[in-house]
């Protein structure tokens, strides 16, 4: 059974929030056929701990108006891998080094990707 509409909405909103904070390699996977505890994973990377935390905070802020609060939050203090569990979707914001080392996409390669909106590049104000 594919990911629920609720999970897709949360995933896409979280992806947009992560992209707005300049997350890289934002990928979403439909894990609903493999796991019973969640429908989707969202993976995002950042080059430093400060940005990892900023992305995680932005995701939380954007999902709150949708009535989603994380039931579990891990890794914020270290800022290397922040996990936010919203039940329908689990968000992994990883330092680029952890992302490469743990390679979650490889572990979940059999899961179909979730199409995400294309992030528009930031434009500078015209003079």
Residue 112 included in any domain? no
Whether residue 118 is contained in a domain is answered as no
Give the number of other CB atoms < 10 A from CB of residue 112.
14
Half-sphere exposure of 64 (CA within 13 A, CB side): 7
pLDDT digits (tens, 9 = 90+) for 49-72: 999 999 999 999 999 999 999 999
Please report which confidence band the pLDDT of residue 76 belongs to, taking 50, 70 and 90 as the band edges: confident
* Alpha carbons 85 and 104: distance in angstroms, whole number: 16
In the chain, the number of structural domains is: 1
Supply the pLDDT for residue 94.
Answer: 97
Residue 120 falls inside a structural domain: no
Task: Please give the pLDDT value at position 127.
Answer: 39
For residue 117, tell me if it sits in a domain: no
Q: Is residue 33 part of a domain?
A: yes
The CATH number that applies at residue 42 is 3.30.460.10
Q: State percent of the chain over pLDDT 90.
A: 83
pLDDT tens figures, 104-121 = 999 999 999 999 986 554
User: Does any domain span residue 114?
Assistant: no
- The domain of 68 spans 5-107
């Amino acid at each position: 059974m594919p990911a629920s509409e609720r999970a897709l909405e949360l995933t896409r909103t979280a992806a947009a929030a992560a992209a707005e904070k300049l997350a890289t390699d934002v990928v979403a996977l439909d894990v609903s056929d493999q796991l019973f505890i969640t429908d989707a994973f969202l993976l995002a990377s950042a080059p430093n701990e400060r940005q990892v935390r900023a992305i995680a905070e932005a995701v939380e802020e954007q999902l709150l108006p949708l009535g989603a609060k994380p039931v579990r939050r891990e890794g914020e203090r270290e800022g290397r891998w922040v996990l936010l569990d919203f039940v329908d979707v689990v968000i992994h914001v990883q330092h680029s080094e952890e992302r490469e080392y743990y390679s979650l996409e490889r572990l979940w390669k059999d899961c179909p990707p979730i199409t995400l909106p294309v992030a528009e590049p930031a434009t500078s104000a015209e003079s």
